[in-house]
Amino acid sequence: MSTLEIPVTSAGPRPPVLARRAWVEHVMGTAVSVHVRALDPGRADVEAAVDRAVAHLRRVETVLSTWRADSDLLRLQHGETDTAHAWVADVAELALEAEERTDGLFRAWRSRTGGRTVFDPTGLVKGWAVAGAAAHLDVVPEISYSIGAGGDVVVGAGPGPSADGPPWRVGVQDPYRSGRVAEVLTLRRGGVATSGASARGGHVLDPRSGRPVRRAGSCTVVGPDLTWADVWATAAWVDPGRAARLLAERDPGYRLVVL
């Protein structure tokens, strides 16, 4: 073989240089950032898919927000309407399944003083919504992406070789030594959700007692589906030991990190 046949400029196969682009939108009470890696992340189809993903989240917010009084969910609860988006029923069904799968460690219904039962699906709506948004990016060829929404992270890739590209590195905040990352999870597909002590005091209620969980630390769950990672993270925060056993038994594809 003559060297003349070899183009001077290409000294052999090299991994393609992936560029990265990020979008940030304010939705669902937090900032949602979408990162896309591709040879050309400025492609119009990428842009359109990101728009659809964000639009999905905005729609979820108008339907299922628990703090916007004009959401379908709250207007339904306040008796201001009889009709609601089908997502309300979808999420209610999902919440029932989550309650069953976690043996009641996750529960979206709680009774208020006065006897009225309130449906508060906060514990799973964000994960479910972000997973739904990610579906719009799963169909875009030759990209990989990650979406971060207030501590919930989903990672994936569209069809093509980009799925085998560099993985995404997701840091887990150290709940004891703020400012530090306690663990780094590396993944190409899947979701990461964390539940834990909030600066505001316990905001996760133990469904068994009705009281907020009050202790330090956090529970992170990583697995194939962000929706269920979110559910299991909430359940694990309520009772880490029991959730760990249930998780191993019922959803072995998920890993629990207790900090």
Partner 1 sequence: MRRITTWLLSTVSALVLLFSYHTSTGSGGGTAVAADANGAAGSTSGDSSATGSDATGSDATGSDATGSSTTGSDGSGAASDGTGTGDTSGDTGTGSAASGASGGLADGTYTGEAVQTRYGPVQVKITVSGGKITSSVVTQVPWSDHRDQEINAAAVPILNAEAVQAQSADIDMVSGATFTSQGYLGSLQSAIDEASR
Q: Is the dihedral of CA 229, 128, 65, 85 positive or negative?
A: negative
Q: Which residues contact 17 (CB under 8 A, 6 or more apart)?
A: 39
> In degrees rounded to 5, what are phi and psi of residue 61?
-65, -45
Shortest Å, Cβ 173 to partner 1: 3
User: Which residue number, 90 or 217, has a Cβ lying nearer to partner 1?
Assistant: 217
Contact in structure between 216 and 259 (CB atoms under 8 Å): no
Shortest Å, Cβ 98 to partner 1: 18
Shortest Å, Cβ 124 to partner 1: 15
Amino acid residing at 155: V
User: Which residue number, 150 or 160, has a Cβ lying nearer to partner 1?
Assistant: 150
User: Which residue number, 23 or 97, has a Cβ lying nearer to partner 1?
Assistant: 23
Contact in structure between 131 and 148 (CB atoms under 8 Å): no
User: Which residue number, 77 or 173, has a Cβ lying nearer to partner 1?
Assistant: 173
| Cα gap 232→32, rounded to integer Å | 21
Shortest Å, Cβ 137 to partner 1: 14
Shortest Å, Cβ 117 to partner 1: 23
Shortest Å, Cβ 248 to partner 1: 21
Tracing tokens 């694990």 back to the chain, one arrives at 236
User: Which residue number, 34 or 140, has a Cβ lying nearer to partner 1?
Assistant: 34
User: Which residue number, 14 or 86, has a Cβ lying nearer to partner 1?
Assistant: 14
How far is the CA of 221 from the CAs of 41, 52, 164, 192, 238, in angstroms?
Answer: 29, 27, 23, 6, 13
Shortest Å, Cβ 31 to partner 1: 2
User: Which residue number, 29 or 159, has a Cβ lying nearer to partner 1?
Assistant: 29
| Cα gap 16→13, rounded to integer Å | 9
| Cα gap 203→219, rounded to integer Å | 14
Amino acid residing at 191: G
Contact in structure between 256 and 232 (CB atoms under 8 Å): yes
Residues lying near partner 1 in the complex (CB under 8 A) are found at 17-24, 26, 29-33, 35, 67, 146, 148, 150-153, 155, 166, 168-173, 175, 178-181, 184-185, 192-200, 203, 218, 220
Contact in structure between 189 and 210 (CB atoms under 8 Å): no
**In this structure, what token pair is assigned to residue 46?**
């990428």
